Amino acid sequence: MASKQTVTVDLKGIFDMDVMEVVEQTRESEKNPYDLKEILSKFNGKQVSISIKEVNELPVKYE
């Protein structure tokens, strides 16, 4: 079996499709924008697996 190399990019934040950007909100209330198009361009022409996950907080039941 051949060895494999895996390249992974993890971004967590608000996705803005109009500007192809993911903006991460830090604990210090800073906003860090990431250029998704630029990040994806590094994988151009390569075999990839893409997953997108939306995370929503569940409502708390109060007694």
Sheet holding 14-16, edge to edge: 14-16, 21-25, 31-35
Q: What angle do CA 20, 39, 18 make, to 5 degrees?
A: 5
Q: Residue 31: pLDDT above 90? A: yes
Q: Residue 1: pLDDT above 90? A: no
pTM of the model: 0.75
Q: What percent of the chain has pLDDT over 70?
A: 100
Place 27 in a pLDDT band, splitting at 50, 70 and 90: confident
> What digits encode the pLDDT tens for the residues 7-24?
999 999 999 999 999 999
Q: Residue 63: pLDDT above 90? A: no
Q: Is residue 23 within 8 Å of 32, Cβ to Cβ?
A: yes
Annotated domain spans of the chain = 10-43
